[in-house]
Amino acid sequence: MKSRILATLGAAALLLVGCEKGASNAPTVQDYEQKRAELMKQREKNGAPVLAGKRTPPPGTGGAADGRGLVSGGDAYAYDATEKRDPFRSFVIEEASKRAEHERGPLEQFDLSQITVVAVVWGTDRPRALVTDPSGRGYVVQEGTPIGKNDGQVIRIGDNSLLVKETYVDYLGEATSKEIEMRIRSKSQGG
């Protein structure tokens, strides 16, 4: 037991002596700054290009000598994040949300001329209408439902009609909105 304790104490003493030697030989921040300044002076004398942002800072502008740290942006630099993506947000999540925004519902796959109004329930707090697509599949719509290829939206449901507001973007990039009324076709109108 004594030999084990002595061996442990001896190893700890050697470790401490080794750490003290390594700590005294390590370069300091001032040594680093001094060597860097010497190298920069040599480069300037030899005519070698000095890289921007690699010069030693003048005294009082955030260098190691004034206690602000090794690397400092100084007072002259200000980061502008406009039109730059946030580096801490996942681009995978952003792409998934973009795809979700652009996924279109079944009624947004067809032009309004291809959709037929079949029935309307309009005497209630929340009026609704039944519309069918070209294949005959029926959908119940209400105010605010997206419909049509041109970002259309149901804005009003009347006694026998739907009012849809579509937004067109022309070749100049200007958005134009248009209200289209869709009526229930009667038998005499070829429905």
Q: Which domains does the chain have, with CATH numbers?
A: 2-66 (no CATH), 106-189 (2.30.30.830)
Looking at residue 175, its amino acid is A
Residues 6+ apart with CB under 8 A from 114: 133, 134
Q: What is the pLDDT of residue 51?
A: 54
On whether the CB atoms of residues 112 and 147 are closer than 8 A, the answer is yes
Structural contact between residues 129 and 121, judged by C-beta atoms closer than 8 angstroms = yes
Q: Which residues of the chain have pLDDT under 70?
A: 1-2, 6, 10, 13-24, 48-75, 96-102, 187-191
pLDDT of the residue at 26 = 77
Q: What pLDDT is attached to residue 53?
A: 47
Q: Specify the pLDDT at position 50.
A: 55
Say whether pTM exceeds 0.75: no
pLDDT at 180: 94
Residues 6+ apart with CB under 8 A from 183: 117, 160, 161
| Residue whose entry in the numeric block shows the structure tokens 């602000």 | 68
Contacts of residue 37, Cβ cutoff 8 Å, sequence gap at least 6: 56
- Spell out the residues 6+ positions from residue 42 whose beta carbon is closer than 8 angstroms to its own: none
Nearest to 77 by CA among 88, 91, 62: 62
Which residue do the tokens 């104490």 mark? 9
User: Who's near 27: CB < 8 A, 6+ residues apart?
Assistant: none
Both tokens of residue 186?
């009667």
Let me know: does 162 contact 186? Beta carbons within 8 Å. no
